[in-house]
């Protein structure tokens, strides 16, 4: 599924990035990595991305 229309990347790409990174992620860091360093435009995808990052961070054991 396309997550961000403005900078064209999929939810799969965002998930893959978080898994690859392993630890806790921030929305801006994931966005930047997936969009090739672009800034969000319309910001409509950010709510979904926020949820995805939250879910990912919830599975990370900190420490």
Interacting residues with ligand FES (CB under 6 A) = 4-6, 40-45
Structure tokens at 45: 């995808």
Q: Which is nearer to ligand FES, 6 or 21 (CB)?
A: 6
Q: Which is nearer to ligand FES, 35 or 56 (CB)?
A: 35
State the nearest-atom distance from the C-beta of 21 to ligand FES, in Å. Answer: 20
Coil/strand/helix, residue 30: helix
State the nearest-atom distance from the C-beta of 39 to ligand FES, in Å. Answer: 8
- CA atoms of 28 and 46, how far apart (whole Å): 9
């Amino acid at each position: 599924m396309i997550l961000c229309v403005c900078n064209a990347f999929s939810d799969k790409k965002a998930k893959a990035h978080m898994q690859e990174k392993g630890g806790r992620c921030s929305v801006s860091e994931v966005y930047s990595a997936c969009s090739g360093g672009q800034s969000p435009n319309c910001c409509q995808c950010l709510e979904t991305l926020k949820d995805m990052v939250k879910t990912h961070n919830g599975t990370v054991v900190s420490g």
